[in-house]
Amino acid sequence: LPAAGSMEVDEPFDRAWRRVSLALDRSGFTIEDRDRSAGLFFVRYVDPKAATVEEPGFFAKLFGAKGPDKTPQRYRVVLKGDGGKTAVTVQNSAGTAPEVGDAGKAIVAQLVRELR
């Protein structure tokens, strides 16, 4: 079973690259850059839960209430081909660690839905 923030596609790298690219486009991610030779997509993602939460009102702000962080977060979607299968992993923006938090899970879940 793949770790949180990752999945496996039962297709060779070329097909998986094309399908993941389309899935990211359809899912509303902003693809800032891509490097096919390295199997990398650089994407921006806004958590839909944060995007739909109301901003605090005037008095709440006056007394220090903060609204949700609606700043788009940057992630790397990494594809690694292995014969007829391709591993897809969501990493933090620096590419130093897998993104295992809610955002990583949400991005993978969205890709799973789109790749069906």
* Predicted confidence (pLDDT) per residue in 28-38, tens digit: 789 999 999 99
Which of the residue ranges 11-15, 27-31, 73-77, 89-93 would you say has the lowest mean pLDDT?
Answer: 27-31
- Give mean pLDDT, residues 17-38: 93
**pLDDT beyond 60 at 112:** yes
How many CA atoms are closer than 13 Å to the CA of 1, on its beta-carbon side?
2
Over the range 13-46, which residues count as b (16 or more CB within 10 Å of their CB) and which as e?
beebbebbbebbeeeebeeeeeeeeebbbbbebb
Residue 86, both tokens: 């391709």
**How many Å from the N-terminal Cα to the C-terminal Cα in the chain?**
18
CA distances from 76 to 2, 59, 63, 98 (A): 17, 39, 37, 9
With 0.85 as the threshold, say if the pTM is over it. Answer: no
For residue range 42-71, what is the model confidence (pLDDT) as tens digits?
999 876 665 555 666 766 666 766 555 567
3-state class (DSSP) for residue 37 = helix
